[in-house]
Amino acid sequence: MGNFYTDVIQQDSRFQSARRVADLDLLEPTTRRLVEQIVDNAQKMGIALMVYETYRSQARQQELFKNGATRLVTVGVHHYGLACDIVRSIGGEPSWKGDFLFLGELAHASGLIWGGDWGNPDIKRSFVDAVHVQRCTVARQPALFAGSWYPDDTYNTYADDPQLRFAAATASKPTGSKSAARVPRPRKKS
Ligand SMILES: [Zn+2]
């Protein structure tokens, strides 16, 4: 049975393109909806964001690796339409300046894994990617890459693993930071 990766992404003309893609249409529909929700909620907080990168080909990953822009030679979750890089928009230009803790809070609230903590704020990571969100736990990645697993509409990253659920619960509490106080409460969906 097909999924968004096999039915849409693999059929797209940009599948092997080495160019950056920021098109929301190459995000799996639930991921797309959650990303749009994050951008909307940030806007309400007075923070202008832009979607910088959605789909990524293996060719582009190799380019980025060669240029030292990534430590990973093999393309990751971006390749499957389940990851998105969201940066600040300053005068219409992308910006990585300032802290992105608010993005972590919004990601947790929406159910996406945030690259700032990879799902667990209590674990210190050597590799942090504060503008990255994804709809797939780190534990699921091997199955995703092997083609044996792809999330359905009901897949919930934070219900996938008890440890991650705990992480989501602690992360949604105000931490005393300025941004945390303005974060909308996560909407409960069963
Ligand atoms: Zn990313």
**Rounded to the nearest whole angstrom, what is the distance from the C-alpha of residue 187 to the centroid of ligand 1?**
25
User: What pLDDT is recorded for position 180?
Assistant: 40
Fold of the domain spanning 4-171:
Muramoyl-pentapeptide Carboxypeptidase; domain 2 (3.30.1380)
55 vs 190, residue with greater confidence: 55
Q: Enumerate residues 6+ apart whose C-beta is below 8 A from 50.
A: 22, 39, 86, 87, 88, 89, 94
Average pLDDT, integer, range 124-149: 89
Q: Which of 83, 112, 87, 113 is nearest to 99 (CA)?
A: 87
What pTM, to 2 d.p., does this model score? 0.82
pLDDT tens readout for residues 133-143: 999 998 999 99
Q: What is the mean pLDDT of residues 139-149?
A: 95
**Binning pLDDT at 50, 70 and 90, where does residue 160 land?**
confident
Ligand 1 centre distance from Cα of residue 85 (Å) = 5
The confidence score (pLDDT) of residue 187 equals: 52
Ligand 1 geometric centre to CA of 84 (Å): 5
Span 118-123, average pLDDT: 66
Domain spans, the chain: 4-171
Cα 173 to ligand 1 centre (Å): 25
